[in-house]
Amino acid sequence: MKKFAWFLTLLLALSVVLSACGTPAATQAPAPVATEAPAQPTEAPAVTEAPAATQASAAEPFKVAVVMPSAKNDLAFSQSMYDALLRVQEEMGADQFQFVFSENMFVVDDAAAAIRDYASQGYNLIIAHGSQYGSSLQEIAPDFPKTSFAWGTTVDTFGQPNIFAYEAASQEGGFVNGAMAATLSKSNVIGVVGPIETGDAKLYVDGFKAGVLSVKPDAKVNVNYIGSFSDTALAAEAANTHISAGADVLTGTAQMVVGAIGKAKDSNVLWFGTQSNQTSLAPSIVVASQVYHWEGILKEMIALIQSGTLGGKSFKADLANGGEVIEFNPDSNVAADAQALAETTIKGITDGTITITLP
């Protein structure tokens, strides 16, 4: 009896583990194809009654797989890539471009396994969307010389001919957000909620600070790194702390900031977003978001792969090349006050008259 119970528990635990791991990829993989193309037969390209499918069926669709650390709808880093893939698909057509994804891959070992699986299934391009996946990719890519890999955010291709690197100049949008935040702040105290002081987050925060100080050199920018990408409760309390310290404009980066946005909304404090467009979460307080538009870089990669170059190049999304866009909240009643300043600042950054000095 005891042995049986042991076995049953193990079985239960195992099945739960497997189902937890399998859920994201299994349940959602077909969804993106289906949503964007109502008239096309998405799963079976050979279906005869579709009139448009006949001439296109000659070419194989370009197939992309992406592995991302958080959820595809995290309103932050992962969503920026998911949305970009959707836009590429919309442009190229679902019969020419298909993608699958594995989300919530916060365990690097799981991500590495997923990357290897996708590579062995013959995807044209596999995107490892997270700087933590670098060493795994370095190990896997040489085993699949005919498959192209992309890794972000970084500039390092490991000198391998089948790895592309991509990153965002997040300090640029940060600077623009900071300049706007400074003009809109009445208390001249501005709060920042960050995850861990590194990479993309640090670039954004440092750029934001520089932007605030460029408009109001005597303003106070209080920065709080909470030490986690997922602790929404602590992010919310960090926002509370900023508000108690007198901040009337907040910003923050990474997916746990939804907690902070909630607090900002409750206290009616303005919010500037980054990575994805965060307006939908709190239309009353979000002024603008710096949004990563990876699609330009993705299309360049696809063109290169189709002409036979599988990697070895690194890309940067910035304001000048359209890889970063400042998206305003159309319903914000203060966005208009800041928009003119934002436009001149963006122009200054793109033509080089404004240089952002980072610490």
Residues 6 or more apart whose CB falls under 8 angstroms from that of 13 comprise none
Identify which of residues 197 and 337 has a Cβ nearer to another protein in the complex: 197
* Smallest distance, another protein to C-beta of residue 320, A: 31
Identify which of residues 238 and 301 has a Cβ nearer to another protein in the complex: 238
131: Cα within 13 Å, side-chain hemisphere:
12
- Omega within 30 of 0 (cis) for the link into 232: no
* Smallest distance, another protein to C-beta of residue 327, A: 17
* Smallest distance, another protein to C-beta of residue 262, A: 5
> What angle is formed at CA 133 by the lines to CA 320 and CA 231, rounded to 5 degrees?
85
The kind and range of the H/E element at 340 are: helix 335-351
* Smallest distance, another protein to C-beta of residue 177, A: 19
* Smallest distance, another protein to C-beta of residue 277, A: 12
Identify which of residues 11 and 47 has a Cβ nearer to another protein in the complex: 11
Identify which of residues 6 and 337 has a Cβ nearer to another protein in the complex: 6
Strand 324-328 and strand 286-292: the pairing is antiparallel
Identify which of residues 3 and 186 has a Cβ nearer to another protein in the complex: 3
DSSP letters, 44-111, are: -TT-TT-STHHHHTTSPPEEEEEE-SS-TTSSSHHHHHHHHHHHHHHHH-TTTEEEEEE----SHHHH
* Smallest distance, another protein to C-beta of residue 6, A: 7
Identify which of residues 5 and 44 has a Cβ nearer to another protein in the complex: 5
Identify which of residues 87 and 265 has a Cβ nearer to another protein in the complex: 265
Q: CA–CA separation, 252 vs 152, rounded Å?
A: 20
* Smallest distance, another protein to C-beta of residue 265, A: 6
Asked whether the beta carbons of 125 and 150 are under 8 A apart, the reply is: yes
Q: Which of 79, 135, 119, 133 is nearest to 103 (CA)?
A: 79
Identify which of residues 160 and 228 has a Cβ nearer to another protein in the complex: 228
Bridge partners, 62 (sequence order):
97
Binding footprint of another protein on the chain (CB under 8 A): 1-2, 4-6, 8-10, 12-13, 16-17, 19-21, 23-24, 27-28, 70-71, 73-75, 104, 106, 191, 196-197, 222-228, 230-234, 236-238, 240-242, 244-245, 255-256, 258-259, 261-263, 265-266, 280-282
* Smallest distance, another protein to C-beta of residue 201, A: 11
Asked whether the beta carbons of 60 and 136 are under 8 A apart, the reply is: no
Q: CA–CA separation, 242 vs 259, rounded Å?
A: 13
Three-state DSSP state, 200: helix
Q: CA–CA separation, 300 vs 31, rounded Å?
A: 25
Identify which of residues 231 and 300 has a Cβ nearer to another protein in the complex: 231
Cα dihedral 343, 275, 83, 23, rounded to 10, equals -170
* Smallest distance, another protein to C-beta of residue 330, A: 19
First to last CA, the chain: 65
